[in-house]
Amino acid sequence: MIRKNFNLNSLFSDFDSLFNDFNSPYFVRGKKNVEAGSDNDGKWSKETFTSDDGSYQVTSIVKYFTNDGKKPKESNEIKDLKLQLNEAVEKQDYESAAKFRDKIKSIESNKEKIDDLQSQLNKAVDEQDFENAIKLRDKLKKLKS
């Protein structure tokens, strides 16, 4: 049976009406929570979106590295040691506190040497000169202790 009144435009129009709901944008209402901060490596931000009914949640985290992915600067190590020193003093563990104090003084007095050895160590690792890197690492340990 062949239809004589077959119209291709009406067929496409019917097809469009069937799938019209799929083309319309879908919006989810909810709340957005934004956090930001910084750590030893750089700045970061965290954004979490949660739908009103709680069935939908998306979290995105963005990190901005400021030290080219290298280890944190030595000043952060000193900050950590000072925190440990304060904790030891609060606990009245004066023997440990004296060790932390001496280690802080050693690092601060040898800062230039430590920085120089650290850059040499990084270069040796980059060039895959591991024998030299081991020697430099050992020298660094001695200066920091």
Q: What is the mean pLDDT of residues 79-102?
A: 91
The closest of 99, 97, 106 to 141, measured between CA atoms, is 106
59 found inside a domain: yes
Confidence category of residue 72, pLDDT binned at 50, 70, 90: very low
The tokens describing 17, both together, are: 């009406």
User: Which residues span the domain enclosing 44?
Assistant: 27-69
Confidence category of residue 86, pLDDT binned at 50, 70, 90: very high
The pTM for the full model equals 0.40
Q: Quick one: 38 and 92 in the same domain?
A: no
Q: Are 66 and 42 in contact (CB under 8 A)?
A: yes
Of 52, 69, 86, the residue that ends a domain is: 69
12 found inside a domain: no
Count of the separate structural domains present in the chain: 2
1 found inside a domain: no
111 found inside a domain: yes
